[in-house]
């Protein structure tokens, strides 16, 4: 069935629309431009997601406190809206409007609740929750304009049952799950899906640091025995779930909290 001339073509950049409509652009006919921003994209889970989306044909920018060694990256603190806006402006300038956002930047925290200072509470909420707020708000105009978008928030399997000494972390990540569900309802009519992936134990620098500080209640190997699939998670396991959720064919999946945890939480 042919599209009427001048009809909106959701998800296509303006030059591609021009191509479809007979204009002079060199963009491939009908091919959706997938420009992705991955926060926390220079380490662990975020890095694996950036690599995977790139392999799948997206143009990917990593937004992190640390510069990216392997790809176009923007140094920005997700808690600072001015830095996020400036980073996003640079990404748009270089790659185009952002239609995929994966929020993977995060920090952990371990403290008995009675000893938790408000500053420590605030810092973990600031990075893990407010950072997600800033990044989604900053990319949203691009997605609304395009009429297509994919947002994936990396929360945590600790939200399934809570975690002692991590009240601030679990509170922030649980709020991210709630934000995900609410935004899915709000943004669905605009062609934007919003999902969360709460990882189980994934072998990253964050997890190894926690193990080295004795925060895991044993060694990683002890946790493998309690994991039905009998191995620790790999960053690539999370990247695979994200790759599917940002794909075209996942367009009917939104507002979902999709655990990737080897069966530890069902």
Residues at the site binding ligand NAD, with contacts judged by CB under 6 A: 39-40, 42-46, 64-66, 77-79, 104-108, 127, 131, 154, 156-157, 199, 201-202, 204-207
Known catalytic residue at 252:
no
Choice between 51 and 64, CB closer to ligand NAD: 64
Choice between 79 and 193, CB closer to ligand NAD: 79
Dihedral of CA 177/147/98/48: which sign?
Answer: positive
Choice between 107 and 167, CB closer to ligand NAD: 107
Find out whether 239 and 52 touch, Cβ atoms under 8 Å: yes
Find the catalytic residue in 121, 133, 148, 169. Answer: 169
Calpha distance 172→152 (Å, rounded): 16
Shortest reach from residue 201's CB to ligand NAD, in Å:
5
Shortest reach from residue 131's CB to ligand NAD, in Å:
6
Shortest reach from residue 92's CB to ligand NAD, in Å:
18
Choice between 107 and 171, CB closer to ligand NAD: 107
Is residue 235 classed exposed, middle or buried when 0-12, 13-18 and 19+ CB atoms within 10 A define those classes? buried
Shortest reach from residue 10's CB to ligand NAD, in Å:
30
Among 112, 165, 173, 150, which residue's Cα sits nearest to residue 255? 150
Calpha distance 13→206 (Å, rounded): 37
Calpha distance 36→246 (Å, rounded): 9
126-161 b/e with 16+ CB inside 10 Å = b?
bbbbbbbbbbbebbbebbeebebbbbbbbbbbbbbe
Q: Which residues are catalytic?
A: 169
């Amino acid at each position: 069935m042919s599209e009427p001339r001048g009809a909106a073509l959701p998800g296509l950049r303006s030059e591609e629309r021009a191509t479809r409509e007979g204009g002079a652009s060199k963009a491939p006919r009908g091919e959706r431009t997938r420009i992705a921003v991955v926060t926390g994209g220079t380490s662990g889970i975020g890095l694996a997601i950036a690599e995977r989306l790139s392999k799948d044909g997206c143009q990917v920018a990593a937004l992190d406190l640390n510069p990216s060694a392997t790809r176009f990256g923007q140094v920005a603190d997700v808690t600072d809206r001015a830095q996020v806006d400036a980073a996003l402006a640079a990404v748009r300038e270089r790659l185009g409007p952002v239609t995929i956002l994966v929020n993977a930047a995060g920090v952990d925290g371990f403290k008995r609740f009675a000893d938790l200072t408000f500053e420590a509470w605030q810092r973990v909420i600031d990075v893990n929750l407010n950072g997600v707020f800033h990044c989604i708000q900053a990319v949203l105009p691009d997605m609304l304009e395009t009429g297509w978008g994919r947002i994936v928030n990396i929360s945590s399997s600790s939200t399934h049952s809570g975690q002692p000494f991590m009240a601030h972390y679990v509170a922030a990540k649980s709020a991210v799950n709630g934000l995900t569900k609410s935004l899915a309802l709000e943004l669905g009519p605009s062609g934007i899906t919003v999902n969360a992936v709460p990882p189980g134990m994934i072998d990253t620098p964050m997890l190894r640091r926690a193990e080295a500080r004795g925060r895991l209640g044993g060694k990683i190997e002890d946790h493998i025995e309690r994991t039905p699939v009998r191995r620790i998670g790999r960053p690539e396991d999370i990247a695979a779930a994200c790759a599917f959720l940002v794909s075209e064919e996942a367009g009917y999946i939104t507002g979902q909290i999709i655990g990737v945890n080897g069966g530890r939480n069902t």
